[in-house]
Amino acid sequence: MATRLTFAADTGGTFTDLVVNSAGGAARLYKRPTTPSDPVIGLFDSLGAAADDMNSSVTDLLERSDLFVFGTTLATNAIVTSSTARTALLVTEGHPDILLLREGGGRRTLFDYSQEYPEPYIPRALTFEIRERLSAEGEVLTALDERQALEVIARLREAEVEAVAVCLIWSMINDSHETRIGELLESELPDVPYTLSSRLNPSVREYRRTSSTAIDASLKPLMSRFFRHLEEELRSNGFNGRLLIMTSSGGVLDAEHVAETPIHSIGSGPAGAPVAGRRFAALDGGGMTAIVTDAGGTTFDVSVLRDGEIPTTRETMVGDQKAGYITGFPSVDVRSVGAGGGSIAWVDSGGMLHVGPMSAGADPGPACYKRGGDRPTVTDACLVLGYLDPDYFLGGEVEVAIEPAAGVIRRHVAEPLGLDLNEAASAILTLATERMVTAIEEITLNQGIDPRRGLLIGGGGGGGLYCTGIAHRLGCWPVLIPSASAALSATGAMLSDLRATYTATELMSARVFDRERANAVLDGLHAQCRDFCKGPGAGSIRSVITFAVEARYQEQVWEIEVPLARPEFASDDDVAALVESFHDTHDALFAVRDTGSDVEVLTWVAHVSCSLQDADSLKPPSAPGRSGAGGTRRAYFPDLGVIDTPVHQVQDLETGRRYPGPLLVESPVTTLVVDARSEVACSANESLLIYPRD
């Protein structure tokens, strides 16, 4: 019987990464250019590379698979490029400006008047008021005027909207009005998808609830078509297993579920990197505080593992961090800067060099691809410096040339700045590295983390090109380049669990705590988690349910999440333990402990995760080599000039032996640059560890 296979893919802005895992064997990595017009084509190019490598066909491989995990940036790109559906927003009468006002003043930085006032996600022209009103207790103050609602729906038909978002005041307490509007929409506009805020995100924060509802509705036509297209192509080529989608929470869900709530696919690709980073930190790092980086073709993504925990944030923005749109859901805390291999280098009118945020992407790509790219990129600079082998780019599968890369660097950077070619290329790489350092400093220092105390994990196809320089700047040693670094996010997707979060809003004071009411809320959440375990999680090897509350000091503006030790309040001691835990968490976050203030619980939270496979079943990939590899290559180092630099293949390095730089370590999917101030060793898992030289 043929060995069963598991697939995980991550479709980025420049490359599509594929991980193939076989029972009892080592994982294999493949990387091919993304096709922006249809990401499924790039996916099948990667599958074709896997089939050729395994002396098989794509159909044979897919027929042997029970599980395919997919991550994509399609939803994010659609929002950034304003290519989402024409969406209408239905709100309570008198509240049409929720998306315009945001959370007070509209601007993220209130007094920065150099910043244009941001446009609402859905324009006022497509915002419609519904005559109804509920109280904060869920009582009907004004009954839903169905006749007026039908008139609004008729106007939606005239406006030719493609999706509808419904967000009424206090619907998270009483969803009857939103539910009825949903029924009217199904009757009158049966082909138009809609999202109800009370089902998607029943939270108190009005702007965040409305924003998430609007974003979700606007993505439904595009993402449902894409997931249907993806599944049809996989099925028609022999796949009969389960298709899962990586979500922004760092877990996975079935494709049909994500098609119904596509907002969860925002940031799905980058969310996998910290999942894989945690695994490799445990295997090779020896520490549980780690800075996980993923250097792709378009962006450089950073996250921080603290005590082995994957960080989450409720401040996730799509688009510009000052004028973008908040998703309203907790997501893996990943920061991104436009400093990838495809980032374009340019000199402004004042003679200052910049790198990014514009990117050449996959089409046309860097100039060295010879596909029409006419601006210098970071990849062009690395090729000119001799760090990349033009005959072995992506294992020789992608043809690149030095001449066009050198031409655009000379024309757009070297000549304007009065530098020679190598100096200009080195300046591009140095500036790109500096932007990456800034991103790491922001995410670490802002959380009180000294980057010098964290293990630096270099991921992505370009991670090996930058990480040594980053480590020297920040003083964070050693650097870990996992054996799966070139496809870190895809590897994380394969390691991820099925995951869901359920919430309920119920305001309760710790001083006047109703244990019976609290236990009823927790019982309801527990039942939803058990249903998830019996449904999507059926057949999992283990499941874990945890509970938390979102609480605050009395009348505080924002809440913080505090875990519950147990899913019930059996006595007043349990209430006291919750209060003490809140004080501890607040003190750790803000260095403030106000024991004299009452503690209010606003939201009750249940997290459920189901493991479909054991993490140990994913064996670190072995790096395939090429015959006749080794020797030297002419490469430029700022302190040494152009020198004959030793070139090693990963599989040729002796385990545990330290190799002093300068040198280059190659595999078909990535290259590691070790300068003269560093040395590298190979671990038993074929990961690389970089140390400073004594």
Q: Per residue in 637-653, pLDDT tens? A: 998 999 999 999 888 88
Query: Tell me, what amino acid is at 209?
Result: R
- Tens digit of each residue's pLDDT (9 = 90 or more) over 14-28: 788 899 988 766 788
Q: How confident is the model at residue 544 (pLDDT cuts 50, 70, 90)?
A: very high
The confidence score (pLDDT) of residue 181 equals 97
Q: What's the pLDDT band for 624 if we cut at 50, 70, 90?
A: low
Contact criterion met (CB below 8 Å) for 539 and 611:
no
**Can you tell me the distance from the alpha carbon of 87 to that of 548, in angstroms, rounded to the nearest whole number?**
34
Predicted confidence at residue 148, as pLDDT, reads 97
Residue range 458-487: average pLDDT? 89
According to the model, what pLDDT value does residue 115 have? 72
**Max mean pLDDT range (261-270, 380-389, 622-631):** 380-389
pLDDT of residue 693: 87
Classify residue 367 as left (phi > 0), alpha (psi -120 to 50) or beta: alpha
For 572-588, how does the pLDDT look when each residue is reduced to its tens digit (9 = 90+)? 999 999 999 999 999 98
Mean pLDDT of 656-685: 89
Residue 595's pLDDT band (cuts 50, 70, 90): very high
pLDDT of residue 211: 94
Measured between alpha carbons, how far is 223 from 599 in angstroms, rounded to an integer?
41
SS3 per residue for 35-64: CCCCHHHHHHHHHHHHHHHCCCCHHHHHHC
Q: What local confidence, expressed as pLDDT, does residue 1 receive?
A: 47
Please give the pLDDT value at position 281: 86
Residue 325 is encoded by which pair of tokens? Answer: 């749109």
Q: Which domains does the chain have, with CATH numbers?
A: 5-79+224-265 (3.30.420.40), 87-214 (no CATH), 498-611 (3.30.1490)
Q: Which residue has the higher pLDDT, 261 or 588?
A: 261
Structure tokens at 119: 């446009």
State pLDDT tens for residues 651-662.
888 888 999 989
Torsion of CA 317, 318, 323, 327, to 10 degrees: -50
pLDDT at 607: 94
Q: What angle do CA 392, 394, 396 make, to 5 degrees?
A: 40
pTM of the complete model: 0.88
Confidence of residue 109 (pLDDT cuts 50, 70, 90): low
Tokens matching residue 137: 């207790």
Confidence of residue 666 (pLDDT cuts 50, 70, 90): confident
Query: What pLDDT, on the 0 to 100 scale, is given for residue 621?
Result: 64
Average pLDDT over residues 492-521: 92
pLDDT at 192 over 70: yes
> Which 8-state DSSP code applies to residue 191?
T
How much is the average pLDDT of 34-55?
Answer: 89
pLDDT tops 50 at residue 81? yes
How many angstroms from the chain centroid is the CA of residue 582? 29
* pLDDT at residue 399 is higher than 90: no
Residue 413 and residue 345 in contact, taking contact as beta carbons nearer than 8 Å? yes
User: Which whole number is the average pLDDT over 383-397?
Assistant: 85
421/595 Cα distance (integer angstroms) = 63
pLDDT digits (tens, 9 = 90+) for 278-304: 888 888 876 668 899 988 877 888 888
Confidence of residue 310 (pLDDT cuts 50, 70, 90): confident
Which is more confident, 203 or 395? 203
Determine the Cα–Cα distance for residues 645 and 626; give it in Å rounded to an integer: 18
Tokens matching residue 477: 């040693």
Cα separation of 56 and 53, whole Å? 8
What percent of the chain clears pLDDT 90, i.e. is strictly above it? Answer: 55
Measuring CA to CA, which residue among 329, 304, 266, 586 is closest to residue 440?
304
Average pLDDT over residues 338-356: 88
Six token digits for residue 662: 């300068």
pLDDT category, 630, cuts 50, 70, 90? low
With a cut of 70, say whether residue 105 has pLDDT above it: no
For residue 203, name the pLDDT band (cuts at 50, 70, 90).
confident
**What is the three-class DSSP state of 245?**
strand
CA distance 237 to 60: 9
Work out the average pLDDT over 325-345. Answer: 85
- Token code pair at residue 43: 């996916």
- The predicted pLDDT at position 262 comes to 94
Strands 194-196 and 163-167: parallel
pLDDT surpassing 80 at residue 617: no
φ, ψ for residue 435 (rounded to 5)? -65, -35
Asked if the model's pLDDT at residue 417 lies above 60, the reply is: yes
Q: Of 3 and 555, which is predicted with more confidence?
A: 555
Closest to 501 measured CA to CA, from 125, 210, 248, 228:
248
For the chain, what is the largest distance between any 2 Cα atoms, rounded to a whole number of angstroms? 80
Mean pLDDT check: name the lowest of 353-357, 391-395, 422-426, 639-643.
Answer: 391-395
CB count within 10 Å of CB 62 equals 23
pLDDT of 48 over the 60 cut: yes
CA dihedral of residues 273, 276, 277, 280 (deg, nearest 10): -160
Q: What is the pLDDT of residues 167-181, one digit of tens each?
A: 999 999 999 999 999
pLDDT digits (tens, 9 = 90+) for 434-472: 999 998 988 888 777 888 888 899 988 888 899 999 999
Confidence of residue 627 (pLDDT cuts 50, 70, 90): very low
In angstroms, the CA 133 to CA 179 distance is 14
pLDDT in tens, 125-161: 999 999 999 999 899 999 999 999 999 999 999 999 9
Q: Which of 34-38, 119-123, 385-389, 623-627 has the lowest mean pLDDT?
A: 623-627
